[in-house]
Structure 1
Amino acid sequence: MLRYRLGAATGTGHRADGRHGTVDLPAPPGAWRRHTLDLPADVRRLWPDLVAGDNSLRGLRLGVQVAAGARGAYVVDRLVFDRARRAGQAGEELRAEVLRGYAGAYPGVTHHRAYEVSMARHLNWFGGDQTLPRFPSPPYRDNDVGATERMVEFLHGHGGVVCWNHPLDVERRESLARLLVERHALGVDLIEIGREPVDDHLWAYDVAARNAIPVTAVGVTDDHDGTDWRAGRDRHVTYVLAASTGRDDLVAALRAGQAWFTDLARYRGALDLEIGGRSAMGAVLTTDAADLTVRLHATDLPAGAALEVVTGAVDLAGVADPTPAIRTGQVSWRQLRQGWHDLPVSPGAGTYLRTQVRGRDGVLIGAGNPVWLLRQAPPRGIAPARRF
């Protein structure tokens, strides 16, 4: 937080106390004084290890402070915001500068550019050539289903994968399930399931799974605060099983459903499903086998937590009776000391299986994507990324 104090000193001074910085500027009482505040320059001076451009102006407050028992007054006139670098791709150039500025500072972190596209239902776009769509003027959000489908089609035309953010902001769980099944999730590749209310999001997601609609469940990507993610309400982060941290490998893992999400503050372990020694999470497997063994992987469960196994019939029932017919079993953290558990599964006419983790208090703190075990390919076929 950056604070300017006018009139508190006879000369200009800078002082940083952790995340709080103060700039003192002289301002004699009873006289007009014009001040120009160069925020990036002051951030550089206060916190030289930060990239100054990686800051935003929010929560602006103006006030006056006087000694106890005294009275004070102030006037602010002709307040002007000079927002530089607005033309063309200036915003993208600034972001590239920020990433270059932090290059090498965090060797364990790899950055890749991504976009939130907000003129339809909010979408996140990962990978591709990142050609921005045309924006209406004045800008407005259009929640029309067809408009979102057309935006998804445009983004897919430029590569990468598309995520549907906070899908319950304009839907109820029943109407969300209908869009997932009847409109095939509006064409998106990913959907934010790991956000509150998580159980309602998972309910709609299970309806889609019952109808063999493979869309990758992820945590929260649409966060606008970023001040303390561990203390936030929606703090599920997404992990993927990828060949590398390269952008194309990460996008491929998301497209294939090789992903799980966890509560950032409560669980940081890994989830996976394995069949025949191969990772199968997110995959669609056609098989004639009467029985299969699925190895459940779940590492670092907190004491008292349990791994839940959610199994449901794939009956392509549509949404006439949407309630997913699921069974939920449990594997305690004590049974997972080696990080895995073998589960015999009978696919029957068609089954999907996924795992989730609940803490000692019963709160969901992590969930993985399903594997589908089918007798034959679903009506829409099996996407190459999903084939086992």
Structure 2
Amino acid sequence: MTRYELSRRRFLHSAAGIAALGAVGGLVRTQSAYAASPTLSADGLSARSMAMHIHASFSEGAASMEAHLQQAQQTGIDVIWWTEHDQRMSAHDYRQVVHFDGLTEWENGKKWTWKPGSSGSFSSSGGGIVAAPVSPNDTGAAALEIHGTSAGSALATRSYDAVVQNALFRTSLDGQTLEIDVFPTSVGWDAYLAVLLTTSHRPAREGLPAGRYRLSYRVGGTGAPGSRTRSGTTGVVTLAAPLNQWTTLRLNPAEDMAAIWPWLDGRDAGLYGLCLQAVSRRKVRAAGVFDFLRFTRARSSGDLPLATQAELMGLYAPQFPAVTQHPGLELSGAPTHVGWYGGVLTLPDYASRSWTASALVQLVHDSGGIASYNHPFGSGGHPLLPEAEQEKKRATVAANLLSTRASGADILEVGYRDRNGVDLSRHAAVWDSCSRNAIFLTGTGVSDDHAASNWLGQKLNFVTWAWAADSSQEALVDALRAGRSYFGDPAKFRGTLDLLVDGVAPMGSVTVSDALQRSLRVIAGGVPEGGSVDVVTGIADLAGPTVTDPGTTTVQTIPAAAFSIGFVEVPVDTSAPVFARVVVRNTAGVVVALSNPVWMLRDLPPDGIPTPRQVGSSAS
């Protein structure tokens, strides 16, 4: 009896037991419509779904940890790896002061611009940089004046939004205070000045809709100075500032959020937007001057942000018990971003040294973790490029990966439907070029989600499934090291994939044999009805960085119906060294999942076989 057959018997036995529990009302049901019975691999492990590249309130997007956890629970994803940008957690090179010397000004070579706007109907409105009055606290020689008078009884707002190069003000509000000097010239019951902060997206709760929570710090208006009130997802903090004199306003957003919405933890909120306003109604003039904006981030030094993140993980764990959380990082201080999974995390010091991708990978390895080479074609959102341009980029990226051996990384992000103008097939092709050269990279599928609002419906929605005994960090990292994973689109595929060579070598493994033909067992469950599984093989001839062609061929297409017993045996010509992987397509021919490869070599590769990929190791 093979290990697969034994595992299949265990699975059938387990399924019968679960059915019996359901019959007597003992089955615990999750809140997800996607929950499924445990599925076992060829070596008796379970498939654990992972959202591996996720950004929340410490990064530049609008997401919160809470919103991501709600998405994971709703969509039936087992594990979240928090991979915030490290330099954003540390607020490295972030804006410290805005002097209002112009609508655009620079600090450390980075631009800050105030973009004017308005809403509602005015009889008159305006604003701009003025030479007087200027705050005595500031060394600058100018300030920003804003005014407006509504045309009727409805609110009208004159505004200036902060547009900041590289979003170098967006990070967690934990320990963050803002100070700004204000000189009101016309405020009252029907007119006020405001500093409007937009914070992270939150799920629907306490009768409020999902959305971004906002804090409006006001001088004037209907609130009493010192009061905090809320209207839905907008909180109002009214502050005292006498007319025609300078006053420093001190804003503590995390503290104010916790006071206004007691069910929220204000530390799980990022500063996403900042806007200065003059708001008028009933034809009452609102006017004043702003100057000398400064930021204090008391908890951005050392590893304090990681400590806050750990506290938030603990806070949310009982609220989302079906989702396992693990801390990770996206090391973003070099042009190539490096994902960090497992080991002991620390935030690199970018102030005292510069880092290369290979140095960041070494940092991860020294900590006991594994490193991912992230978004190999770049992190932008460029529309899909013409075929010829995509091919040119593929060749360039492949040559770089081969010449640097992927900077020593263990993982390559492959599963993007398209990213920065390059489609999924080219992402897979550069991975295959590495496989051709015995660069043993575990491919993963990720979303790089910064929004936390629509995990399944967004274009970049891939997740990775790891074959592991449990969802512990150690078990998942071991699976990734060994290539015991597959990835795909969870909106279109919730099945399983595995490979087994000659009955002993599982997906991800590297074996050496002088046999001219070997047996590849393709194990697949949940292949879409009418869909198929492509068996892709490639030459593993160590062609080197000057040969960027992946050297792959689809040798067989297996219809979904052929997997009625769970697997199909495929003979593979191994008269030359090869690697093999599989691709699942739905009935429309759309790729919905990809396996990791197995290597069937004829000689040991020059650098040997990594221990986790050797048959018989604890990881395989």
What is the 5 A alignment of 1:347-358? 347-358=574-585
Structure 2 residue 312 is the aligned partner of structure 1 residue 98: yes
Once the two structures are TM-superposed, the CA of residue 70 in structure 1 deviates from its matched residue by 8.2
Q: What is residue 268 of structure 1 aligned with on the other side? A: 494
Match of 1:234 among 438, 454, 460: 460
Once the two structures are TM-superposed, the CA of residue 263 in structure 1 deviates from its matched residue by 1.8
Once the two structures are TM-superposed, the CA of residue 257 in structure 1 deviates from its matched residue by 0.8
Structure 2 residue 533 is the aligned partner of structure 1 residue 307: yes
Q: Distance in 2 between matches of 1:8 and 1:333?
A: 65
Structure 2 residue 355 is the aligned partner of structure 1 residue 128: no
Higher relative CO (CA 8 A, sep ≥ 6), structure 1 or 2? 2
Q: How many residue pairs end up in the alignment?
A: 378
Match of 1:217 among 436, 443, 446: 443
Is the Cα contact below 8 Å between 1:272 and 1:279 reproduced in 2? no
Match of 2:364 among 136, 152, 155: 155
What is the 5 A alignment of 1:160-309? 160-169=369-378, 172-195=393-416, 196=418, 197-220=423-446, 222-278=448-504, 280-309=506-535
SS at match of 2:215: strand
SS at match of 1:381: coil
Give the direction of change, closer, same or farther, for the CA distance of 1:95–1:206 in structure 2 (3 Å limit).
same
Q: What is residue 229 of structure 2 aligned with on the other side? A: 13
Is the Cα contact below 8 Å between 1:8 and 1:24 reproduced in 2? no
Q: Distance in 1 between matches of 2:521 and 2:262?
A: 50
Give the direction of change, closer, same or farther, for the CA distance of 1:49–1:364 in structure 2 (3 Å limit).
farther
Is the Cα contact below 8 Å between 2:235 and 2:257 reproduced in 1? no
Is the Cα contact below 8 Å between 1:307 and 1:355 reproduced in 2? yes
Once the two structures are TM-superposed, the CA of residue 223 in structure 1 deviates from its matched residue by 4.3
Once the two structures are TM-superposed, the CA of residue 66 in structure 1 deviates from its matched residue by 4.9
SS at match of 2:465: strand
Q: Distance in 2 between matches of 1:344 and 1:249?
A: 31
Is the Cα contact below 8 Å between 1:309 and 1:330 reproduced in 2? yes
Is the Cα contact below 8 Å between 1:165 and 1:221 reproduced in 2? no
Structure 2 residue 605 is the aligned partner of structure 1 residue 378: yes
SS at match of 1:379: coil
Give the direction of change, closer, same or farther, for the CA distance of 1:105–1:25 in structure 2 (3 Å limit).
closer
Q: What is residue 563 of structure 2 aligned with on the other side? A: 336
Q: Distance in 2 between matches of 1:262 and 1:101?
A: 30
Percent identity of the aligned residues?
34
Q: Distance in 2 between matches of 1:49 and 1:297?
A: 46
Partner amino acid, structure 1, of 2:579 = Y
Structure 2 segments unaligned to the other structure (5+ residues): 1-211, 380-391, 616-620
Query: Which structure has the greater CA radius of gyration?
Result: 2
Give the direction of change, closer, same or farther, for the CA distance of 1:103–1:279 in structure 2 (3 Å limit).
farther
Structure 2 residue 343 is the aligned partner of structure 1 residue 117: no
Q: Distance in 2 between matches of 1:316 and 1:88?
A: 43
Q: What is residue 74 of structure 2 aligned with on the other side? A: none
Q: Distance in 2 between matches of 1:127 and 1:333?
A: 36
Q: Distance in 1 between matches of 2:613 and 2:440?
A: 8
Once the two structures are TM-superposed, the CA of residue 26 in structure 1 deviates from its matched residue by 4.9
SS at match of 1:296: strand
Once the two structures are TM-superposed, the CA of residue 51 in structure 1 deviates from its matched residue by 3.4
Give the direction of change, closer, same or farther, for the CA distance of 1:387–1:221 in structure 2 (3 Å limit).
farther
Is the Cα contact below 8 Å between 1:192 and 1:221 reproduced in 2? no
Q: Distance in 2 between matches of 1:119 and 1:218?
A: 22
Partner amino acid, structure 1, of 2:230 = H
Structure 2 residue 218 is the aligned partner of structure 1 residue 24: no
Greater mean alpha carbon deviation, residues 48-57 or residues 100-109:
48-57
Greater mean alpha carbon deviation, residues 35-44 or residues 291-300:
35-44
Q: Distance in 2 between matches of 1:117 and 1:153?
A: 12
Q: What is residue 99 of structure 2 aligned with on the other side? A: none
What TM-score do the two structures reach when normalised by structure 1? 0.85
Is the Cα contact below 8 Å between 1:260 and 1:271 reproduced in 2? yes
Partner amino acid, structure 1, of 2:557 = Q
Give the direction of change, closer, same or farther, for the CA distance of 1:24–1:153 in structure 2 (3 Å limit).
closer
Give the direction of change, closer, same or farther, for the CA distance of 1:369–1:24 in structure 2 (3 Å limit).
same
Q: Distance in 2 between matches of 1:88 and 1:208?
A: 36
Kindly indicate which of the two structures has a greater share of residues assigned to strand.
2
Is the Cα contact below 8 Å between 1:210 and 1:315 reproduced in 2? yes
Is the Cα contact below 8 Å between 1:269 and 1:298 reproduced in 2? yes
Is the Cα contact below 8 Å between 1:285 and 1:372 reproduced in 2? yes
Structure 1 segments unaligned to the other structure (5+ residues): none
Is the Cα contact below 8 Å between 2:448 and 2:460 reproduced in 1? no
Is the Cα contact below 8 Å between 2:303 and 2:347 reproduced in 1? no
Query: What's the C-alpha RMSD, in Å, of the aligned pairs?
Result: 3.0
